[in-house]
Amino acid sequence: MSCFNNKKILALSAVFCILLLISSCNNNGEEDKQLTADSITILQDIAQEDSALIIENKANEWLDLSLNDESGSWKKFKLQEFWYEDSMQEKPFKPGNEFYTDYASLLKWSPDSSYVLDIGTYGKVPVKDKKGNIKIEDGEIDTKASLIFPNTNTVAELIFLGAGGTFIDGRWIDSTQFSILGVFDEKGNQQPDTLLWVIDAKERFFRKYKRQ
């Protein structure tokens, strides 16, 4: 089962944006219902493609382990939104000699080593214990995930949660797509949601799911 190709993603995204625009200007009840139905269909198409991708690459098993849920975690996630991150800019990145070793537990290399998913080095401090082992301690309270491009020594910010969330884990699904699992208090009501981002590093196509 193949994942979304670029043309299909562009088409669906364009149609979805047009539907939202038309809906915002339209006061006809019957037409609004049809537009809503079309929007739901687009979301379902994307979710079905993602489901095939995740199950085929056994990322659903990773989800179960990460959430300690043997009942099938993936089926409890619902697609909330999707978008292209056109403004995702790469910035120069020159880490110290020990960066990839010290922060190894927070770095996820893609299968071909073209990318490194960073799920939490931001604000963290590596500290050696009495035995010389490296332990990661909190510094800044903010949480950020980034994508490192080791071949060009650049980095791009992916998700910034601030102090209201944290990342549980991250995993590469295939050579260009990865997932990030986290919790975030989006509403500020002290009841954080469990979220899953599925991101295509090459196409910069983001999908955000929420556990129901």
Q: Find the domain containing 63 and state its range.
A: 6-211
Q: Is residue 203 part of a domain?
A: yes
- Domain tally, the chain: 1
Q: What is the mean pLDDT of residues 148-169?
A: 93
Q: Is residue 1 part of a domain?
A: no
Q: Is residue 49 part of a domain?
A: yes
Instruction: List, in sequence order, every beta strand (DSSP E) within the chain.
Output: 77-84, 91-92, 107-109, 116-118, 124-128, 134-138, 143-149, 154-162, 165-172, 177-184, 193-200, 205-211
Q: What is the mean pLDDT of residues 74-89?
A: 90
Among all chains, which residue has been given the structure tokens 């995740």? 54
pLDDT at 168: 95
pLDDT at 96: 87
Write out pLDDT tens, residues 165-180.
999 999 999 999 999 9
Question: What sign results for the dihedral spanned by CA atoms 181, 183, 187, 191?
Answer: positive
Distance CA 54, CA 193 (A): 21
Please say if the pLDDT value at position 2 is more than 90.
no
Q: What is the mean pLDDT of residues 107-130?
A: 90
In sequence order, the 6+-apart residues with CB closer than 8 A to the CB of 9 are 84, 203, 205
Q: Is residue 88 part of a domain?
A: yes
Q: Is residue 46 part of a domain?
A: yes
What is the pLDDT of the chain when averaged over all its residues? 84
Write out pLDDT tens, residues 55-76.
999 999 999 999 998 888 999 9
Q: Is residue 90 part of a domain?
A: yes
Specify the pTM: 0.81
Nearest to 83 by CA among 29, 158, 144: 158
